[in-house]
Chains A and B, each alone.
Chain A
C-alpha cells in the first residue's frame, strides 16, 4: 500500500466519522434517540433482504454516473452536465423502445440503449467544443446545458409522448425489462435491484483498469495534473477533453435506464431527482477512484434507502442533510489531511 492510498484512506475515514458525529448531534438536537434511529436504519437496510436490494438499486445509478464523472475529474474537467445527459439519453432510449414495439427484444434492447447513449454523447460534445474553441470553462456551459436539455425533453414529453393526463411516457414492453436479481436470489424479494447493478460494478472495475493501467488512462490523469506539461509530452489535450465528456455522456445515459428498464418501465418527468449532482459527491468521496466509487455509491444507496426505513421516527429528508454533510466534510478534511501529511 502506498503513501497516497494511506492519506486518502485517512481523509475518507475521518470525514465519515465526522459525518456520523454531526448526524448524532443533529438527532439529539431534534429530540430523537440516535441509537434507536441508527439501529432501525441498519436493521431495515443491511439485515432485510428487501432493504438490502433497494440499497443496491439506489447505488446502481450513482455508481455508473459517478464512474463517468470520475474519469472527467481525473482529467481536471468539472463536468456538471451528467444530470442533463442522463435525462436526455434515457428519454431517447424510451422513445426508441416504445416506437419500435414490433422489433424483437434481442434487437430492440441494444438499439434503444445505444440510441440513448449516442444521443447523450452528442449533446455531451457541446461543452468540450466550446471549451476547446473559445476557452470557456465547462462549468458554466454544463450548468446551462442541463437546463436546456431538461426543458427540451419536458416539452417533447408533455406535447408528444405523455400518456394522457400524466407526466410519464408509455411503458416499454415487459420483454425489454432488465432481469431483477430476486429471480436469482430469493431473499431480495420485491426489491428493484436488477442486472444493471453487476454491469455497474463491471464498469467501475473496467474504468479503474482503464485509468490506472492503460496509456490513455495515464494521459487522462496527466492532463488532470498538469495540462501544459502534458501538451509538451505530446499528449493531444483537446482529444482527451472530448474523450472524457463522451465517456461520461454514454455512462450517464445507461444509468438512467436503471429507472426506466429496471424499475418503473417508463420515463417520467423529474425521475432523475438530482442523481447527476449526487454522483458528483459520490465520486469526490471516493477521491475519483472507480474502485472507491463502488463503496461510496453503496454508502449513498444506504443513506437513500435508510432514510425511508427510519421515516417513522425521523423525516426521511434527514438523509439529504447527511449526504450534504458527507460531501462538505470530505472536501474540507481532505485539504486539512493533505496539509498535515504532504509537505
Chain B
C-alpha cells in the first residue's frame, strides 16, 4: 500500500481525532485544576478509575447511560476527596497525586479480579450510544455522532469562554495566580480551587469512559500513560486552551503516523515514536521550543 496515500486518507484523519479525544479531555482536566492553583498529577488515576467504573456499571446495569451517570457521580466524589486532601488539609499536591495514582491502580486491579475473575481484562462492555441524527451528516457524521468526541471539540471554545469571558473564569484564574489578592477582594479562594478540582474530575472521567467505551472493555493498564501525556500537552500548550488543543493534535498525529507506518511496514521502531511526547516536553522545558510559565501560585496550598 502506498504510504502517502494512507496518510492523507480519511481513515487516517479519523484515527487522529480518536487519539486526540482522550488527550484533549485529560489536558483540559489538568488545565482547569492548575488554573485554580491545584496540581493534579493523578489524571492518569482518575481516567483509570472512570474507565473501570463505566465498564462495571454499564455491564451490571445493562445500560451504558446508567454507567455514564454513575461514573460521573463517583468521579465527582473522588475529586471531592482529592480536594479534601489538597485544599482542605493542604497536603502537598504532588504527594497526594502519587497517593491517588497508587490507590486507584490498586483499587481497579482488585475490583477487576473481584467482579470479573480476571487479572487482565473485563468482559465486553457496551459503547456510549451515539447521537443518531448526526450520523447522517456527510463525511464527518460517524465522528461527531459520538457524543464524547463532539464534546471534546465543543470544549475548546467552551473553555476559552469560561476561562476568559466569565466572572467564574476570572476568579478561578485568580485562585491560581494570586490567591492573596483575590482573598482581599472577598473571593472565596478555596471554593474556586474546589471547583477547579471538580471540573478536572468530570473531564478526566469523560476521557477514561471514552477509552473504555471505544475499546468495549476495561483492561489492566489500558490508560497507558495517557494521563501524563495530557499533562505534557498542557505544559507544551502553556496552560492555554487553544495551544493545548494544538499540542494534543500534534501528539495524536504523531501517534497515528506511527500506527500507519507500522502497518505499512516502514520499520520505524514504535518505542522511539512513543517517546516523542515526553521527549518534546523535556525539550520545551529546557527552553528549546519557546517559553513556558505555569500559573504563579500553582501547587501552593492556600
Report if A318 contacts B (CB, 8 A): yes
Task: Known A78-B94, A317-B113, A331-B91; judge A139-B99 contact (CB<8 A).
Answer: no
Task: Known A130-B282, A277-B98; judge A30-B114 contact (CB<8 A).
Answer: yes
Task: Known A134-B287, A317-B109, A324-B103; judge A335-B228 contact (CB<8 A).
Answer: no
| A144 lies within 8 A of B269 (CB) | no
The CA of A174 and the CA of B271, in the complex, are separated in Å by 32
Q: Chain B at the A interface: mostly helix, strand, loop or mixed? A: helix
Which residue on B lies nearest to A134, using beta carbons? Answer: B287
Task: Known A148-B279, A151-B271; judge A331-B106 contact (CB<8 A).
Answer: no
The CA of A301 and the CA of B98, in the complex, are separated in Å by 19
| A320 lies within 8 A of B225 (CB) | no
- Residues from 308 to 343 in A contacting B, C-beta threshold 8 Å: 315, 317-325, 327-328, 331-332, 335-336
| B110 lies within 8 A of A318 (CB) | yes
Chain B residues near A155 (CB-CB < 8 A): 269, 271-272
Which residue on A lies nearest to B273, using beta carbons? Answer: A151
Report if A212 contacts B (CB, 8 A): no
Which residue on A lies nearest to B298, using beta carbons? Answer: A137
| B110 lies within 8 A of A315 (CB) | yes
Please encode chain B, from 31 to 44, with 1 for each CB lying within 8 Å of some chain A CB and 0 for all others.
00000000101000
Chain A residues near B101 (CB-CB < 8 A): 277
Please encode chain A, from 45 to 78, with 1 for each CB lying within 8 Å of some chain B CB and 0 for all others.
0000000000000000000000000000000001
Smallest Cβ distance from B243 to chain A, in angstroms? Answer: 17
| A328 lies within 8 A of B286 (CB) | no
Q: How many positions in chain A have a CB within 8 Å of any CB in the partner chain?
A: 45
Report if A188 contacts B (CB, 8 A): no
The CA of A302 and the CA of B109, in the complex, are separated in Å by 19
Chain A residues near B299 (CB-CB < 8 A): 137
Report if B202 contacts A (CB, 8 A): no
Chain B residues near A78 (CB-CB < 8 A): 92, 94-95
Report if A152 contacts B (CB, 8 A): yes
Report if B96 contacts A (CB, 8 A): yes
Report if A253 contacts B (CB, 8 A): no
Please encode chain B, from 273 to 302, with 1 for each CB lying within 8 Å of some chain A CB and 0 for all others.
011001101100111000010000001000
| B235 lies within 8 A of A140 (CB) | yes
Which residue on A lies nearest to B103, using beta carbons? Answer: A324
Chain B residues near A315 (CB-CB < 8 A): 110, 113-114, 119
The CA of A78 and the CA of B111, in the complex, are separated in Å by 31
Chain A residues near B84 (CB-CB < 8 A): 332
Report if B188 contacts A (CB, 8 A): no
Chain B residues near A159 (CB-CB < 8 A): 269
Residue from A139, A151, A155, A331 having most chain B Cβ neighbours under 10 A? A151
The CA of A151 and the CA of B228, in the complex, are separated in Å by 15
Chain A residues near B92 (CB-CB < 8 A): 78, 331
Which residue on A lies nearest to B285, using beta carbons? Answer: A136
Report if B140 contacts A (CB, 8 A): no
The CA of A93 and the CA of B238, in the complex, are separated in Å by 39
The CA of A133 and the CA of B96, in the complex, are separated in Å by 27
Query: 19 A-B Cβ contacts within 8 A?
Result: A126-B282, A140-B285, A143-B231, A147-B228, A147-B278, A148-B278, A274-B102, A277-B98, A278-B102, A320-B105, A320-B107, A324-B102, A324-B104, A327-B99, A328-B85, A328-B99, A331-B92, A332-B89, A336-B89
Interface residues of B (CB under 8 A from A): 39, 41, 84-85, 89-92, 94-96, 98-107, 109-110, 112-114, 119, 225, 228, 231-232, 235, 269, 271-272, 274-275, 278-279, 281-282, 285-287, 292, 299
Instruction: List the 7 shortest-distance A-B pairs measured between CB atoms, nearest first.
Output: A324-B103, A320-B106, A155-B271, A315-B113, A317-B110, A317-B109, A144-B278
